Each structure stands twice: as structure tokens, then as C-alpha cells.
Chains A and B, each alone.
Chain A
Amino acid sequence: MTIEEIKITLTNKFSGSIIENEELSDKQIEVEGSKWLEIATFMRDDPNLSFDQLECITGVDTGEDATLQSRYNLHSMEYRHKVEVVINHDKKNPKVPSIEQVWRIGDWFERETYDMFGISYEGHRDLRRILCPDDWEGWPLRKDYEGQESYHGIVVPKIKEEDEWE
């Protein structure tokens, strides 16, 4: 199926949740966050779409207007078609339903996006940090991240702005 047909199938079933956005490329679909679990289950189980592989979840700090984005790349092994789903979150309180029961790799991918950006996934059974230590402060990959002063007695070096050779 082409991207247009996939968009039409999804818009027919979930008319309120598919958002039209001209800034996205033609391979991307923007979806509203609150219904994401039903849409994901439909995309996996529908016999014409059959998206059984979640390739990647990327968290993005767009840097403007206090938005964070999650981008999900999906692929179907049977039909060999792909699509990218974009969901916008509010930076002050970013949350979205968790899809770890739909694609089992979502478990670790969502933990990583939580660790790096602070997006909380509702319904995730074990949402804790995966790469940074459990008692680390802050969300490292946000553009306004300031490192903490010290960690267990070891000084954490500040992220330098420009090249300084002393």
C-alpha cells in the first residue's frame, strides 16, 4: 500500500485523531496522542496494514514553542511498506499512552526516551531510567539541559559552550 492509502485507511477509522500538517514530509503522519494505543493496535492487527515491526522511537526537542515530539518508524514484514508517526507533546507535562504491549521492543525504547527527554508513558509497567543512573537529575537530551554539580562526590564537568583550550 502507498502512504496515501495508509492515511486514508487510518482517517476513515479514526477521523478525529489524524491531524493534517503541511510541515511534515509525505512519509509522516501526525496523530493525536490520547488515542495512540487504539491506533497502534489497529495498525498492527489490521490485515491490510499489518505493521508488525517497530523500527525506532526517536524523541525530538524541536527547540521552539516548548514542544517535544516522538517519532515512531513502523514497518511491515509482509507488505514491505513503512510509515512514520509523529506525536507532539507539551513540554511542561509530556505524556502519551504506552505501546509496549503492542510491540514488545516498545518497552526499552520508551524507557530510553523517558530517560533522555522526560516524556512519561502511561501504562508502562516499569518506567525507570535505562542509560543514566537511577538517581541522575535532569533530562539530558533536551536543548536546555544543565548538568548537575556532582554525582556521589565526583564532580560532573559542565558542558562547555565553545571550544576552550587552556
Chain B
Amino acid sequence: MGVVQGDQMVLNIGPQHPSTHGVLRLEVMTDGEIVSEIKPHLGYLHRCFEKHSENVTYEQVIPFTDRCDYLASMNSNFGYVVAMEELMEIKVPDRVEYIRIIMGELNRVASHLLALGVYGLDIGAFTPFLYMLRDRERILDMFEYTCGARLLYNYMWVGGVSHDLPKDFEKICFGFLDYFEPQIDEYNNLLTYNKIFVERTADVGVIPADVAISYGVSGPNLRGSGVNWDVRKDESYSIYDRFEFDVPVGDGKFGTLGDCFDRYWVRMLEIKESVKIIRQALKDIPSGDVHQALPKKIRPPKGSVYRRTESPRGDLGYYIISDGSPVPSRVKMRSPAFTALSCLDEVSKGWMISDVIAILGSLDIVLGEIDR
């Protein structure tokens, strides 16, 4: 009987594939079903955001930042205006700060709901997807009531916000939060404690903490590996220091520390913390004029600034260089999903192809942000 000769097979996943969260092409070298190397190919959604931002004014860049991370566009706007206000040394009124935090945290909940729903869909569970999207629609209704748009808002402007909260927004929002908190237990029953889900995600795709820091991984992916780093607490911006909330950190609940289940569990706990922050903000929100501090003409002084904020995917950073004219000289967006995707090769060596899909889903990438 002769020896069986094995050979490497190259499998191409994407760019059009239901599980790749967008247009991503993965060139996977496998020995049968076991993966030995993955080469991601990007750039299928490269929409020249940085070239556009050198040719339009500072205010006109904000709709382009919306479209980069389209699942959490309030947070993308937030990062840009925080960096601009640091460059121009503008102090916004308190009401604007509270409104920004409410909208940012609501969008964080919506983004996590979609990420977890689609993750369940990747693993094979269809029902949590429908339930989570149903609740996300209620959040999008609230956004539409405030500023008119469902997905891409152009809401946060340098020095303020575009529309004030409508009169009965607080009542609607409290009604939603009271309805929503028991739903989290329903999601846990459906997905978190589901034996099949746990077996497919626990111990799979472990990212050790030092590897994660060297690859620039941040946000829930880094916290799932046990590192307590949250920009809202450690490099605090806006008025996050006035609110009380915990930072959930993974602890190897069902398997090894830093596996896919830890990242999923950190996101689930973050939804609860965001609900806490929204409740505190709605209770204490002061009155005022939201358009008071809007500058008449945006002409920042010469200089540069790099500021990062916490988006649902991690550390979103903006590097803005200004030369004194109304048009930016350079705007660079440091996207958290770009760094999260870079560690895919190292993390998935030795796992099977279906585990690669589980790892990719747990990293929660958005291709619009990666390719800009």
C-alpha cells in the first residue's frame, strides 16, 4: 500500500460571499480542511475618502465619515468632531454633550445588535437575527424622529448637533429602554447558552493579549482577551467621566481567555452598560441651545491633531492636518476594523474553514471602514 500524498489547496472565499460581511476576498491555503495560511485581499470598496477630504471643506467631510463605518455612523461623526474641537479649542454647551452621548450610545447598541445577529446567522441560527433586527428598527425609528435619516445621519457638527431633540424624545426613549432590557435575557436564552453555539465558539480563535496589542487590536476584541482598555475611561473625551459604567472584560467563561465566545460575551455585556449610560444621561440632561457654539466659518489654526474615540469596533482615530484654509490638508482615519482584520492570519492557523468563518464573525469588521 503506498503512502497517501497530500497537497495544498487554494480556496478562494469572496469577494461576493454571504458570510464575509462585505466585499472581502480571503485566499485560504488549506490541507484538506485545516487552514495553514490566509491572505486577505482588500480594496474592493476603496472609495477614496482621504482624497475627497482634501478637496471639500471641513463641514462637508462629515457625511463622508458617515459612510465609512455605516453601522455606527453617529460614532464616526463623534470621533471627527471631537478631534476638530480639540484642534480649534471650541467648548460646546452641556446640552450638546449629553445629546451626543445619548446618540452615540444608542448607535452602539444598534451596531452591537446587528453584529451579534449576523454572527448568529453565520453560525447557523436564523431566529436571533430576526429578533435583534426587530429591536434595532425601534432605535432607527428614534433616530428618524430626531434627524430624519435611518442609517447615515450627518448629525454631529463641529460645535454642536444638527437638530435638537424633539419634545417627547425622553418619554419615547425611556419606553424603549424599559421594553428592551428584558429582551436581553431572551437573546441569552436563544443564543448565549445554546449548546451548539458554545461548542462552535468556545476555545476557537484565541488571541493572546500581547499579540493583540502588537497587532493594534482594540475595543471589544482586545477586552475579550482580558486587557482592560476603553478609551471612554482611559483617555476620556466629552463628558464620559460624569457617568458610572463598568467596562466588561473577558474572563474565559466557557473556554480559554480570548476566544470567540469571550468577544461575543463582551459585546452582549456592553449593550447593558450602554443602556445604563443612556438612562443616566436622559435623567440629567440640561436645557440650552444646541446651535450656540457653531462657528460661522471653520478655519482651524495651522497644526495637526490625532485623537481617538471609542467606536463599537474599537479605537477610531482621526489625524487631521490643517494649513489655515477652509479645506483640510490631510485627514487620515485610523480604523479599528483594519487592525482587527490584520490578525486573522495569525489567529486562524490550524483551524478548519468553518472555524475561520466563526473567527471572522467574532471580529466584527465593516468593509467600508477598512477600505475607506
Chain A positions near chain B (C-beta within 8 angstroms): 25, 52-56, 58, 60-61, 63, 71, 73, 77, 80, 84, 103-105, 107-108, 116, 129-133, 140-141, 159
Contact A104 B215 (CB under 8 A): yes
Contact A77 B227 (CB under 8 A): yes
**Which of these, B211, B215, B332, B371, contacts A131 with CB under 8 Å?**
B371
B244 contacts A by Cβ under 8 Å:
no
Contact B308 A104 (CB under 8 A): no
Contacts of B338 in A (CB 8 A): 108
Given the contacts A55-B306, A55-B315, A130-B42, A116 and B50 also touching, CB distance less than 8 Å: yes
Contacts of A71 in B (CB 8 A): 304, 319
Contact B317 A103 (CB under 8 A): no
Contacts of B303 in A (CB 8 A): 25
Contacts of B216 in A (CB 8 A): 53-55, 103-105
Q: How far is the CA of A102 from the CA of B308 in the complex (A)?
A: 22
Quick one: which of A53, A84, A141, A159 has the most chain B CB within 10 A? A53
Which are the 3 A-B pairs with shortest beta-carbon distances? A105-B216, A131-B43, A56-B334
Which residues of B from 203 to 244 have beta carbons under 8 Å from A?
210-211, 213-216, 227, 229, 234
Which residues of B from 315 to 347 have beta carbons under 8 Å from A?
315, 317, 319, 321, 329-330, 332, 334, 338-339, 342-343, 346
CB distance from A78 to the nearest CB of B (A): 10
Q: How far is the CA of A153 from the CA of B146 in the complex (A)?
A: 46
Q: How far is the CA of A47 from the CA of B330 in the complex (A)?
A: 34
Contacts of A105 in B (CB 8 A): 214-216, 339, 342
Given the contacts A25-B304, A56-B332, A131 and B319 also touching, CB distance less than 8 Å: no
Contact B334 A55 (CB under 8 A): yes
Contact B213 A77 (CB under 8 A): yes
Contacts of B234 in A (CB 8 A): 80
Given the contacts A105-B339, A130-B43, A131-B42, A55 and B308 also touching, CB distance less than 8 Å: yes
Contact B342 A104 (CB under 8 A): yes
CB distance from A41 to the nearest CB of B (A): 13
Contacts of B51 in A (CB 8 A): 140-141, 159
Closest to B343 in A: A104
Contact A140 B48 (CB under 8 A): yes
Contacts of B317 in A (CB 8 A): 55-56, 73
Contacts of A73 in B (CB 8 A): 306, 317, 319
Contact A77 B319 (CB under 8 A): no
CB distance from B78 to the nearest CB of A (A): 18
Q: How far is the CA of A25 from the CA of B302 in the complex (A)?
A: 11
Q: How far is the CA of A94 from the CA of B297 in the complex (A)?
A: 37
Which residues of B from 328 to 372 have beta carbons under 8 Å from A?
329-330, 332, 334, 338-339, 342-343, 346, 371-372
Given the contacts A56-B319, A104-B214, A132-B46, A77 and B308 also touching, CB distance less than 8 Å: no
**Which of these, A25, A58, A108, A130, contacts B319 with CB under 8 Å?**
A58
CB distance from A119 to the nearest CB of B (A): 14
Q: How far is the CA of A116 from the CA of B53 in the complex (A)?
A: 14
Given the contacts A25-B303, A80-B234, A131-B46, A107 and B342 also touching, CB distance less than 8 Å: yes
Contacts of A80 in B (CB 8 A): 234
Quick one: which of B54, B211, B334 has the most chain A CB within 10 A? B334
Contact A141 B213 (CB under 8 A): no
Residue-wise interface mask of B (39-57) relative to A, using a CB-CB cutoff of 8 A (1 in contact, 0 not):
0001100101011001000
Q: How far is the CA of A129 from the CA of B234 in the complex (A)?
A: 35
Contact A133 B43 (CB under 8 A): yes
Contacts of B321 in A (CB 8 A): 60
Closest to B319 in A: A58
Please give 8 more A-B residue pairs, beta carbons under 8 A apart, in addition to A55-B315, A105-B339. A25-B304, A55-B216, A56-B334, A103-B214, A104-B211, A105-B216, A130-B43, A141-B54
Contact A58 B330 (CB under 8 A): yes
CB distance from B227 to the nearest CB of A (A): 7
Contacts of B319 in A (CB 8 A): 56, 58, 71, 73
Q: How far is the CA of A105 from the CA of B318 in the complex (A)?
A: 17
**Which of these, B43, B308, B330, B334, contacts A60 with CB under 8 Å?**
B330
Q: How far is the CA of A73 from the CA of B307 in the complex (A)?
A: 10
CB distance from B311 to the nearest CB of A (A): 14
Q: What are 11 A-to-B residue pairs whose CB atoms are below 8 Å?
A: A55-B306, A56-B334, A73-B319, A77-B227, A84-B306, A105-B339, A131-B46, A132-B43, A133-B43, A140-B48, A141-B54
Q: How far is the CA of A21 from the CA of B334 in the complex (A)?
A: 26
**Which of these, A77, A141, A159, contacts B50 with CB under 8 Å?**
A141
Contact B342 A108 (CB under 8 A): yes
Q: How far is the CA of A25 from the CA of B315 in the complex (A)?
A: 23
Contacts of A25 in B (CB 8 A): 303-304
**Which of these, B42, B210, B332, contacts A58 with CB under 8 Å?**
B332
Residue-wise interface mask of B (268-309) relative to A, using a CB-CB cutoff of 8 A (1 in contact, 0 not):
000000000000000000000000000000000001101010
